[in-house]
A = this chain, B = another copy of it.
């Protein structure tokens, strides 16, 4: 192969992402320099944070440049290496973006073991989403046995891990998800104690029933009405790990309607970005990998086929059409 295809950001979306915001290009495979590795991507990871990068507005990370390969996590196999730690055939996870292939400095790749854990899991339960759940649970929420943990987007890559980690700590795990199918999966397959379907129209009452002893810890992925409803059920000294606000990813203002609850219940809330805490990743990934290998941490994937499907799959992710971790399979 001397050429490969990639998707670049063609324009910054106004409001909802459109497929026309991306453009497919064919580019030449570059020569490797010392220390570099050429990787054939098997899977692309699609994640909500990418929406923020597509805007020019101030964010916690630099904006995705126009006309450059769209950013993103990848899992694949080494094609050629000029780095001493990697040889052809190694499976690796990295950040090569929306492209069939890519070149990375060896220091930016993580060699992964696919003997007990599928390659794709390194983009989900044993990757950034899993680490997000692990960090929020262990470093922010620190939920104790008997406490109630509420997590929104509960069937998603992060939320599904949050609830299962909560159960492993002896907590009551309450999910919020959209639709009966997702809620059934969260309870019956993942083992949450309850899951509230926010689309059913009785959010407050259903959450009150699902968390009869109140909520001690919120892992928030969504924001808006779902977050407000969870805050309204908090107990004194509740903690909030603020991970995502997907309800506002298209740029609209996203209020917390009743800030008084934060004071009334002496809540500690912390916004976080897991990639700013890399010092925890070796420990977290080791634990998550063991749980997946043992079958104690389950996950589900929605897999789109082929690079060209990425824009539509990403759009669907932001609208909640995915079920579990959203991937794009290239090979």
- Where the two chains meet, the residues of A that have a C-beta atom closer than 8 Å to any C-beta of B are 58-60, 223, 227, 236, 242-245, 248, 253-260, 262-273, 276
CB pair B264 A269 closer than 8 Å: no
Number of copies of this protein chain within its complex: 2
Is the contact region of chain A dominated by helix, strand, or loop, or is it mixed?
loop
Closest to A269 in B: B269
- B265 and A268 contact, CB distance less than 8 A: no
Using A256-B256, A263-B271 as known contacts, list a sample of 11 further A-B pairs with CB atoms less than 8 Å apart, ordered by residue number in A. Answer: A58-B264, A59-B264, A227-B259, A242-B259, A242-B263, A245-B260, A254-B259, A255-B258, A265-B271, A266-B270, A267-B270
* Ranked 6 nearest A-B pairs via Cβ: A263-B271, A256-B256, A255-B255, A269-B269, A268-B270, A262-B271
**Chain B hits for A259, CB < 8 A:** 223, 227, 242, 245, 248, 254-256
Q: List 24 A-B contacts (CB under 8 A).
A: A60-B265, A223-B259, A223-B260, A242-B259, A242-B262, A243-B263, A244-B263, A245-B259, A245-B260, A245-B263, A248-B260, A253-B257, A255-B257, A255-B258, A255-B259, A256-B256, A262-B271, A263-B271, A265-B271, A266-B271, A266-B272, A266-B276, A268-B268, A268-B270
Residues of B contacting A264 with CB < 8 Å? 58-60, 271
Closest Cβ–Cβ distance, residue A62 to chain B (whole Å): 13
Contact of A258 among B243, B253, B262 (CB under 8 A): B253
In the bound complex, CA of A36 to CA of B237 (Å): 34
* A263 CA to B273 CA, complexed, in Å: 8
Q: Could you say which residues of chain B place their CB within 8 Å of the CB of A254?
A: 258-260
Residue of B nearest to A238 (CB): B271
- What is the CA–CA distance of A248 and B264 in the complex, to the nearest angstrom? 12
